[in-house]
Structure 1
């Protein structure tokens, strides 16, 4: 038959064997739930015989997952994606990465998990008997937000399939086994690729020229700068710059937005207003008014250093699940810690979701380089940014990002009551959790 790489294989009939093993599954960190102890049953299918040089397909069928979907949340169709690892032994050694599609029927609460088959391709490079043994696997759930449950064996697992590899015509080869076609993923959903934006930027109250270009997470801008400290000017509009953020679960994998930092002089300090583009992310769930609050650590460079924490108001209206979210303008105060030309650039974005309990904190780090949005002619103030100590600008030098917007800087937690309905942000944690534990 034709293999995945278009190679004509002279393999023997497929062999399948089912194995069962004790498994521990670690729920997403945001759930705050304990590890799940269960039994996984797996059926591995592979050719019984093949020749050196063949590339064969191996199929992992999960007959039974470690536990049921908990009695909390129905999983939508095509939201579950498994990945796993097979151990290779016998005449060769190594691992084979297995991957399944994001494909499943709707899975009701308190019902068995249904996982699609995982596949991988194995290039045979050495004669002898090769054994295949199931190992760890990961289950990603994409809605209501991307989460991962990591499962691993807690006992020695039996060999599930054996391939007898013959020399295939007197040619002796040596070496290991090459695997291809599978990808093992863990710890959330990873996306790659940049966002390209083009066009001019118009600002008021200052002179700005040039365009803004973002590609692959880095941003290069050119144009004028707003400068203060002379001539009685009090308002200093910044340039719009494109920024890419990489967020941790349960937030989106990435956010790309245009950001503008504006300043208004107030004595020796500056009142900052940071604006983001409309619809920077989709709401992870149906959220009531006042549940979602943004903040940012504006990075100070040039003659000064440190960060300024700016915070936005909570969402003024209820948010629908999956619909675009506009972040409110974020404000804070910058007190210069040095004299000269200081630059202000977008830094770490933090989104806090509070639903009556401990807030869910979603940190989003700047991905790649980012240009300054504003340049100011500053005069050093006592206790300013570079000097540190009790100001909105945090010192310490080097522009380290400050912790912003989080009332709870510990592990992420994501269970809360929304209009009387419990929402499990952790997705498919394969354990039954009583209501009392959720309330705690």
Structure 2
């Protein structure tokens, strides 16, 4: 049970807080506040966790109405260390905080840069100072008290945000003695640097997003003596639900080779360029996809690829294998082929039940168009499928992807696997089951 709680809170502990990074001195006064916070992890990251943090607020001791002053929030004491599950890469942590202003002036948003040294397992978290500018609009003493904050951590497979809010009253913080002067405007928010979170909820700075529709064009084939019909890469946005916040985006190419009256299909994703976040055994990742038929024909064709033949070490390169299947036309005419649902089966030990990660194509496009001739027993209804094959590229991990797409990181596709191995495993399977297979 202790192990379960530790793993299920992995994402939370990664994001709870940070050790301060020293800022250059300025003619200002700093004051600290130590308070408890309750942190809510992203979907699938476990239960909320409470911790204690110390924040130092730096602002001018005195100013006048009309001045715009710099305010800095530095995290002196983190609410938690990094876990023992995963190293956090360099320049991956970005904080955003909200400072409560006295006198009914509302809140000041302050944002930190996405700048941190590599944070090993169990090491103290590190967050950059959060900065903002405050326009002073009235005379008097204005208190600046640290309040809620968000922490976004970006990995190669996605960005995850934990939201922390004070538990009880927060005492302490800086005070600015504002004297009468020129009339001012309104309170301004913090400066946004390094790709800030906005509105306290949406994260930028590396997260993978879906939803944009990109058409990959079409290649007409099927007539004469031609046998090979190369498709065009089409950007596909996959929605994997809470498993992969923000979804997955990667180019997909569908190629066909005529085989009698049928077509042997090969589906490629872009070459993988991400490092494995944890060691993956041989046979851990097996992809499959539905190819959607359009135009004269309808239905889907299932294609699948082999699992990785060799174990992948921690931080080793990972790629999805080529996926193959057979399309037997049920109609005569021009038929379009488009990428549809992607599925990744995750198996952490030979013989154990796989964990199924479905990813719906939220947006897609036509990769290939064929001139087909109907075949007896072929597809042609909205529910029928082509004959799928269980074979694919043999040996190791395939070098997948169109030649001109080698620089694109498609292996955010393994994000579901990463989260399953880290913090969101309980969304899909009891911990005791996964533990028993490792």
| TM-score for the superposition, normalised by structure 1 | 0.65
Q: Is the 8 A contact 1:234 1:266 kept in 2?
A: no
Match of 2:266 in 1: 273
Q: Is the 8 A contact 1:104 1:114 kept in 2?
A: no
Which runs of structure 2 are paired with 1:360-399 in the superposition (5 Å)? 361=357, 363=359, 365=361, 370-377=365-372, 379=374, 384=379, 386-388=381-383
Superimposed CA distance per residue, residues 153-203 of structure 1 (whole angstroms, 9 cap, x where no aligned partner): 25344263333444533xx34444343225227677653899xxxxxxxxx
CA distance in 2, matches of 1:319, 1:251: 24
Whether 1:261 aligns to 2:255 is yes
Superimposed CA distance per residue, residues 249-277 of structure 1 (whole angstroms, 9 cap, x where no aligned partner): 7699866446232154565x644221344
Q: Give the 3 Å change call, closer, same or farther, for CA 163–326 of structure 1 in structure 2.
A: same
Match of 1:137 in 2: 149
Match of 2:52 in 1: 39
Superimposed CA distance per residue, residues 254-301 of structure 1 (whole angstroms, 9 cap, x where no aligned partner): 66446232154565x644221344446543433222112222232333
Uncovered stretches (5+) of structure 1, i.e. residues with no partner: 1-10, 195-215, 394-410, 417-423, 428-434
Q: What is the Cα deviation at residue 343 of structure 1?
A: 0.6
Match of 2:112 in 1: 99
Q: Is the 8 A contact 1:121 1:179 kept in 2?
A: yes
Q: Is the 8 A contact 2:61 2:176 kept in 1?
A: yes
Q: Give the 3 Å change call, closer, same or farther, for CA 383–41 of structure 1 in structure 2.
A: farther
CA distance in 1, matches of 2:221, 2:197: 48
Which residue of 348, 355, 360 corresponds with 1:359? 355
Match of 1:298 in 2: 291
Superimposed CA distance per residue, residues 56-101 of structure 1 (whole angstroms, 9 cap, x where no aligned partner): 332222233333434x336356365141221443352244042243
Whether 1:340 aligns to 2:333 is yes
Which runs of structure 2 are paired with 1:79-228 in the superposition (5 Å)? 81-89=93-101, 90-104=103-117, 106-109=119-122, 113-124=124-135, 126-128=137-139, 129-142=141-154, 146=158, 148=160, 150-153=162-165, 155-158=167-170, 160-169=173-182, 172-182=183-193, 183-184=196-197, 190-191=205-206, 218=214, 221=217, 224-227=219-222
Give the number of the structure whose residues are more often helix, by fraction. 2
Whether 1:316 aligns to 2:282 is no
CA distance in 1, matches of 2:89, 2:97: 25
Q: What is the Cα deviation at residue 327 of structure 1?
A: 2.6
Uncovered stretches (5+) of structure 2, i.e. residues with no partner: 1-25, 389-414, 425-430
Q: Is the 8 A contact 2:80 2:125 kept in 1?
A: no
Match of 1:69 in 2: 82
Match of 2:14 in 1: none
Whether 1:283 aligns to 2:296 is no
Aligned-residue RMSD, C-alpha: 4.4
Number of equivalenced pairs: 365
Q: Is the 8 A contact 1:145 1:252 kept in 2?
A: no
Q: Give the 3 Å change call, closer, same or farther, for CA 99–414 of structure 1 in structure 2.
A: same
Give the number of the structure whose residues are more often strand, by fraction. 1
CA distance in 1, matches of 2:149, 2:370: 50
Give the 3-state SS of the residue equivalent to 2:181 in structure 1. Answer: coil
Q: Is the 8 A contact 2:331 2:372 kept in 1?
A: no
